[in-house]
Amino acid sequence: MADWVPDVLGDEFQQLTLDLGTDDQGPVVATLVRALPTEPSWWERVRGRRPLLDGVDVLYVHGWSDYFFQKRLARFWSSRGARFFALDLRKYGRSLREGQTPGYVADLATYDEDIGAALVAMGRGEGGTQSGRRLVLLGHSTGGLTLSLWASRHPDAADAVILNSPWLEFQFAPARAAIAPMIELQARIWPMEAAPQVDLGFYTRAQEEVADPDDPMDVNLQWRPAQTMAVYAGWLHAILSGHKTVAAGLSITAPVCVLLSTRFVPPTRWSEDLTSADSVLVVDDIARAALRLGSTVTVERIDGALHDVFLSRHEAREDAYRRLDRWVTGWRSAG
């Protein structure tokens, strides 16, 4: 295995390249990022108390056309004693190699290899259960869909699942059943056929408009472009298949927390409404779909939140972190 080396996020982070073999586009890797431990505060040292999340590992997976860059999110966990890791999946962000189709897979189960390699590097074994430490899965958007499916297939691996605006259902749910057969045929015949670009860049603009100077972020636009990466038929078929599986009901045994905006605004033209709403997913559909993930699901609706609730304007962002803290505290206290 390769060695941990300094990460692009600076001195607080390191990265590890995970070799996943080759495919028809060449060598395939995933990249695991870890936040270096946070020193306990003087008050914690004086009181001699163990941090709230001592003995907890967190694995974060990003969304579509994305990668991990949220330092504050990592510090939320490490400051409470958890070990925080983030995974740039194959052909995304740090893992994207020349000549590869960004973000492309034909089956979301392919990411079992990425997640398995990450868990081994974290010292948990490929299935995540060879450790006395508790495991929290944390996923955003497409990463939330990927981790939900993985957790359902690996019922003993995760102790908690936290989802930030997970892509659990296609935009306007009734359309999925109508278009799925056509996309399946297209994926079988022309899997690399790209759909027309419909992203006008408004979601990126909304994030820029509400950027919080107290939580600055340096984003690599090659890894997270202003307009999303190209959507291919084979990839879209994989997503729709995941949505169909969620609609049939998953069996996540761990408690699940879903963080969502209170409203959706379609990004057909620019307006200030886009700075205080999810412009990517129809959040009411996601809230309904979330109830099919398992038997213990909490849905937190955050007024004014963007699609990534932790990139919202200051008030909504702080609300998102308060709710996350409350849920995590309750989860940890319960056992």
What is d(CA 277, CA 265) in angstroms, rounded to the nearest whole number? 6
Which residue type, as a one-letter code, is found at position 196? P
Average confidence (pLDDT) over 101-129 = 96
pLDDT range class, residue 43, cuts 50, 70, 90 = low
Range of the domain at 162: 5-333
How far does CA 140 lie from the centroid of its chain?
A: 3
Output the six-digit token pair for 283: 């959040």
| Statement: residue 308 has pLDDT above 60 | yes
Please write the tens of the pLDDT for every residue from 220-276. 999 999 999 999 999 999 999 999 999 999 999 999 999 999 999 999 999 999 999
What is d(CA 258, CA 140) in angstroms, rounded to the nearest whole number? 10
Q: What is the pLDDT of residue 44?
A: 55
Please write the tens of the pLDDT for every residue from 153-209. 999 999 999 999 999 999 877 778 788 889 999 999 999 999 989 899 999 999 999
Average confidence (pLDDT) over 27-33 = 98
pLDDT range class, residue 335, cuts 50, 70, 90 = confident
pTM, entire model: 0.95
CB 32 within 8 A of CB 121: yes
What is d(CA 137, CA 326) in angstroms, rounded to the nearest whole number? 17
Q: What is the pLDDT of residue 42?
A: 59
168 forms beta bridges with none
Among 300, 61, 305, 138, residue whose Cα is nearest residue 207: 305
What is d(CA 145, CA 156) in angstroms, rounded to the nearest whole number? 18
Per the structure, how many domains does the chain have? 1
Q: Is 272 helix (H, G, I), strand (E, B) or coil?
A: helix
Please write the tens of the pLDDT for every residue from 130-167. 899 999 999 999 999 999 999 999 999 999 999 999 99
Q: What is the pLDDT of residue 50?
A: 86
Supply the CATH number for residue 190's domain: 3.40.50.1820
